[in-house]
Structure 1
């Protein structure tokens, strides 16, 4: 099994996604979206931008 995005409704009716690794572990969670379409667009944004994203350490 490979990694997968799961789309679901949370308890408040917001559409959300989570990215699960091949072993089933959740490795990322998206924000709440008012529509499923917007949620799917969020997934596409992650797919398009994650490969070129840099890693930045902060002192939070």
Structure 2
């Protein structure tokens, strides 16, 4: 099953989204948005830019 973005209202009444894997596990969470439209734009940005995103390893010592 494919992953999905889930829009929700947090305990402070602000809009956020979570990216859930096909098994329901949360694999990413957004910042706070003041409007649903802004949150949807944030999702669109992740969808557009994450596909070929570079991986930067900053785990020195591991």
Alignment TM-score, normalising by the size of structure 1: 0.93
Partner-residue secondary structure (3-state), 1:44: helix
Matched residue pairs, number? 60
Unaligned runs of 5+ in 1: none
**Distance in 2 between the 1:2 and 1:56 partners?**
25
Which residue is equivalent to 1:55?
Answer: 55
**Distance in 2 between the 1:18 and 1:7 partners?**
7
CA RMSD of aligned residues (A): 1.2
4+ long deviations beyond 2 Å: none
Which residue is equivalent to 2:6?
Answer: 6
Equivalent residues in 2 for 1:1-60 (5 A)? 1-59=1-59
**Distance in 2 between the 1:25 and 1:56 partners?**
23
Alignment TM-score, normalising by the size of structure 2: 0.90
